[in-house]
Amino acid sequence: MPADDSRASLRATDSDTQNGAVAFATTHWSVVLEAQGQSAAAQEALEKLCRAYWRPIYSFIRRQGAGREEAEDFTQGFFALLLERRDLDAVRREKGRLRSYLLTSLKHFVASEQRRALAVKRGKGQQLVPLEELSAIDRTEMEPADHLSADRLYERRWASTLMEQVLRRLKDEYCTAGNAALFDWLKQLLLDEPGAPSRAEIAARLGMKENAVWQALHRFRHRYQVLLREEISHTVAIGSDIEDELRHLISVLRT
């Protein structure tokens, strides 16, 4: 889902940011920070985060002027270094947000590699993220927009990646319940897609009453908001940061 098409998806969420965060459990990033990268659990959690959030990294590097192959090498090299170094002591707990940590680390990495002009490590021959699986369409969509700075592009890719993950989880839930068609229709209303059908049209297509569609959409939005907060919770160190990150996500998508 392109970032530019994502703004409307948080309209309902924005008004509910003060309703309270989800219960904060031990999540990917908190595991990494607590263990300082030394345990098997922390290493596994960090690898999952790397695989999930390579798009913002790749997009930032491309915006810095790297060619496609060079950007792929730099992306792989950055994650290889991150996983091998296991040095997270520099992360201040009160600022322990994955989004900020990765961007700061990436800037240092790119500057260092450019200064030394050395070949990038490839993680001991292992592909950390499936860059080779990118289709031509994927590559085109991730090409940097001329009007965005590298930092801004990173933020936009970060936001769209989070939202894609939320929608993927929501779709899986609806498909498992046998409601794949309902998901496809309600998604259009959630995202305010061009030419989105009315509730009356959806009711006619699915053989439902219009009021039932309204109730289904209400549940759909609520579940979306819950999953969004859960995804954000995986990228912060403490539960009190969830709402701040949510507000930041909304601001990124609206500008």
Domain housing 103: 3-254
Predicted confidence at residue 227, as pLDDT, reads 94
Instruction: Considering only residues 235 and 225, tell me which one the structure prediction assigns the higher pLDDT.
Output: 225
For residues 24 and 53, what is the distance between their CA atoms, to the nearest angstrom?
A: 21
For residues 23 and 238, what is the distance between their CA atoms, to the nearest angstrom?
A: 11
- Which residues is 236 bridged to in the sheet? 97
pLDDT digits (tens, 9 = 90+) for 99-112: 888 888 888 888 88
The one-letter code for the residue type at 189 is: L
Taking Cα atoms as reference points, which of 47, 30, 37 lies closest to residue 86? 37
Percent of the chain with pLDDT over 90: 22
Q: pTM (2 decimals)?
A: 0.69
Predicted confidence at residue 192, as pLDDT, reads 72
CA 138 to the chain's CA centroid: 15
Predicted confidence at residue 26, as pLDDT, reads 45
| Number of structural domains in the chain | 1
pLDDT digits (tens, 9 = 90+) for 120-160: 444 444 455 555 554 444 444 555 555 778 899 999 999 98
Predicted confidence at residue 131, as pLDDT, reads 52
Helix H or strand E segment including 43 = helix 40-52
From residue 171, give the alpha-carbon distance in Å to each of 158, 162, 220, 232: 20, 14, 10, 18
Which residues are CB-neighbours of 241 under 8 A, at least 6 positions away? Answer: 96, 97
Neighbours of 225 (CB within 10 A): 19
For residues 255 and 245, what is the distance between their CA atoms, to the nearest angstrom?
A: 16
Residue 188, class by beta-carbon neighbours within 10 Å (0-12 exposed, 13-18 middle, 19+ buried)?
middle
For residues 58 and 143, what is the distance between their CA atoms, to the nearest angstrom?
A: 10
